Structure 1
Amino acid sequence: MKYPALLSFEEVFPQIRQFDTIIDARTPAEFAEDRIPGAINCPVLSDAERVQVGTLYKQVSAFEAKKLGAVLVARNIAQHIETQFIGKPREWTPLIYCWRGGNRSGAMAHIMARIGWPVVQLDGGYKEFRRYVIGSLAQLPQQFAFKVICGPTGSGKSRLLQVLEQQGAQVLDLERIAAHRGSVLGNLPQEAQPSQKAFESRIWDKLQYFDLRYPVFVESESKKIGNLRVPEALMEQIRKSACIALTLPRTERVRLLMDDYAHFVADPALLNTQLACLSYQHGREKVGEWQQMATAGQVEPLVDELLLKHYDPAYAQSIKRNFGQFSTAQILDLADISPEAFLQAARQLHQDK
């Protein structure tokens, strides 16, 4: 094969894990929004440089823009080779891509191929990868048998998924991928949600390598997790799949939520900001009472009342309406939130697969 080789994503994907390095040559901002899973960012133009070259192209001429671009691209590629790749052996195999046209990745691929590395450039770049992901997510979920972990807020669904994964089960933890716990109080203060594109790419990456012979455990989610939308075909397949109904005494659910939402316990003002979002459902007077409880440090009775007045009624309506097999769900009782209880439940489910 002559290098640099120009291959489509369909050609590259079957061997994508054989590449030593996947290089995203786009700007840091483009990379941050989404990228091929496992890629590293080696921008041939920074965000500011890309704007600079684009402005020169529009306001002066393509010729002047290309001259400046050549200087910046050559300088940046040289720096990447010197700082990151100078020690790579002749057999090192990189896959390089940029946005679409191939100018940025093509420049890097050309120089690396002249050095002697067997470089592959992705034809169509990130845009072609994105097209492939969208197409896959419209078809791929239908191939899997999902087992849906159901249960009201605080019943330990996410913890059970984590233990199932530790036991070797196939788990699609959408809340972990979305960096959100799914409810109005579900945002994670130390972690921002990914972009919608990145969310979909990460889901695709998980599904792509699951074994079709075994079930995939997933939580009973809403169509949106925080600000992110679950892909339609995936949501449809999950909602018509077999269900497992997880039960846990309410006192234990309160304990679990106190653990999981410790940041709210420590910051009543933050909790009150989120509680304000419930005003349209429960009225300002009731939400004001809850906010007073939070300010007074009465978080445990507050959590108990939120379960009773808000979360449990909402769950009861949603689960029956959206999950067709819930009426025949396998019942799985947890006595408490000890690690032993979750381990026993996970082993039972994993053995039953």
Structure 2
Amino acid sequence: MAAPIHVTAEPWLHTYSEIIDVRSPAEYAEDHWPGAINLPVLDDAERAEVGTLYKQVDPFTARKRGASLVAQNIARHLQTHFADKDRDYHPLIYCWRGGQRSASLALVLSKVGWQVTVLQGGYKTYRAWVRRQLQTLPQQFTYRVLCGPTGSGKTLLLHYLHQQGAQVLDLEELACHRGSLLGAEWGKPQPSQKSFESQLVQVFLKWDPAKPVWVEAESAKVGQLHLPPALWQGLTQADCIEVQLPLEERVKGLIAHYPHWIAHPQALKEKLLPLKARYGQARLQRWFELIDAQDWPQFVRELLLQHYDPTYQHGLQRNFNRIRARLELPDLSETTLKKAATYLLEGQFEVGLTGIPALQSPSPSLAWTLRLR
């Protein structure tokens, strides 16, 4: 006997054996419900073929061809993915709008006898929910923002804070970009804006609003991805800790963390070309000469002093001016970073000072300084 097909517009209130996205692989790759699997009833080429028939021939011919392709694909999924599912299996299925594609698979699975739920409105319902969450979720949290010039170890410090149990929002990891001109991850494209936002929602939902979220200062964009307005507002209004590191340690660390640019000097030059309008041909040529000479320490030193550091100071004054503590690191060794993470979590921003709440100073213009040795 066929089981009834359920429909829901609030699937996050229930649990399912599996969440199935029946859209094409390209649609799925752009964004999908985190954890959903892709069992397309039409692949990309088939979907394009049916769409062309609909526009250039007639809807009836398109539906007939589409039904044939959908039947073949569902049969293949039954013989493979669904072959070992027991009778208690109860999936959630969605397509773009909760229409024919999800209904097709739901009908067949219900005929087998499985309890099937279809997402009303499909992916568009999920996407609307993500947008609503991003308007409110970020406002529920208190942020501790790590500021500091490029190469000062902020990202590494976040990793050690995470190891010690802190709630850490690593925007650069989620965005697959280090947030600067040369910050693109080599060979790894950024996710779509929609996928980035889906990941953000899942991260926030796992956290406790009673605990602070540690995050690195970023601009309103990380690479090509925009931060949700509510999150950006929360970051720019948060108390900040400025991480400082000696210039030569920054140079050494950046050379170690960006080997792909050293291995691809021509690509590095092309990436620097947009800076010509700001600094002129002479300075750009100087940087190119250092690249050709493979004088990486001097190249990184000059790029920091002439471009990155002034840019950082401008962004700090404009967006992250609530500095409550400064953390001076001697190096980026594991010992130093572990110790720094411990101090930050315990709120020990000034040796010998006790009874002072974390991140509070006598005046907004003053900050405690901790020098690690």
Q: What TM-score do the two structures reach when normalised by structure 2?
A: 0.89
- Give matches, 1:13-52, under 5 Å: 13-15=12-14, 18-52=15-49
Q: CA deviation at 1:296?
A: 0.9
2:314 match:
317
- Give matches, 1:244-263, under 5 Å: 244-263=241-260
The structure whose Rg is larger is 2
SS in 1 for 2:280: helix
C-alpha distance in 1 between matches for 2:66 and 2:99: 14
C-alpha distance in 2 between matches for 1:92 and 1:255: 55
Q: CA deviation at 1:13?
A: 1.0
Q: CA deviation at 1:287?
A: 0.8
Question: For each residue in 1:84-117, what CA deviation from the matched residue of structure 2 results, as whole angstroms up to 9, or x when unmatched?
Answer: 1211222223211100142101111121122122
C-alpha distance in 1 between matches for 2:186 and 2:284: 22
Which stretch of the first structure deviates more once superposed, 87-96 or 102-111? 87-96
SS in 1 for 2:183: coil
Q: CA deviation at 1:313?
A: 1.2
Q: Structure 1 150/3 Cα, relative in aligned 2: closer, same or farther at 3 Å? A: farther
C-alpha distance in 1 between matches for 2:137 and 2:6: 29
SS in 2 for 1:148: strand
Q: CA deviation at 1:239?
A: 0.6
Aligned match for 2:343, one of 340, 345, 348: 348
Mapped contact 2:98–2:118 kept (Cα < 8 A): no
Matched AA of 2:253: L
SS in 2 for 1:337: coil
- Give matches, 1:277-296, under 5 Å: 277-296=274-293
Percent identity, please. Answer: 47
Mapped contact 2:98–2:123 kept (Cα < 8 A): no
Mapped contact 1:25–1:105 kept (Cα < 8 A): yes
CA RMSD of aligned residues (A): 1.5
1:332 match:
327
2:363 match:
none
C-alpha distance in 1 between matches for 2:130 and 2:70: 29
Question: For each residue in 1:227-261, what CA deviation from the matched residue of structure 2 results, as whole angstroms up to 9, or x when unmatched?
Answer: 11111111111110111111111111111111111
2:4 match:
3
Matched AA of 1:333: E
C-alpha distance in 2 between matches for 1:119 and 1:291: 61
C-alpha distance in 2 between matches for 1:265 and 1:56: 50
C-alpha distance in 2 between matches for 1:116 and 1:168: 45
Q: CA deviation at 1:164?
A: 1.6
C-alpha distance in 2 between matches for 1:336 and 1:220: 20
C-alpha distance in 2 between matches for 1:288 and 1:121: 60
Q: CA deviation at 1:59?
A: 2.5
Mapped contact 2:176–2:189 kept (Cα < 8 A): yes
- What runs of 5+ residues in structure 2 fail to find an aligned partner? 348-357, 359-373
C-alpha distance in 2 between matches for 1:60 and 1:266: 53
C-alpha distance in 2 between matches for 1:129 and 1:101: 11
Matched AA of 1:345: A
Q: CA deviation at 1:297?
A: 0.4
Matched AA of 1:22: I
Question: For each residue in 1:121-142, what CA deviation from the matched residue of structure 2 results, as whole angstroms up to 9, or x when unmatched?
Answer: 1111111111111121112111
C-alpha distance in 1 between matches for 2:286 and 2:256: 23
C-alpha distance in 1 between matches for 2:134 and 2:228: 7
- Give matches, 1:1-353, under 5 Å: 3-8=4-9, 11-15=10-14, 18-326=15-323, 329-352=324-347
C-alpha distance in 1 between matches for 2:194 and 2:298: 39
Bigger fraction of residues in helix: 1
Matched AA of 1:5: H
Q: Structure 1 325/106 Cα, relative in aligned 2: closer, same or farther at 3 Å? A: same
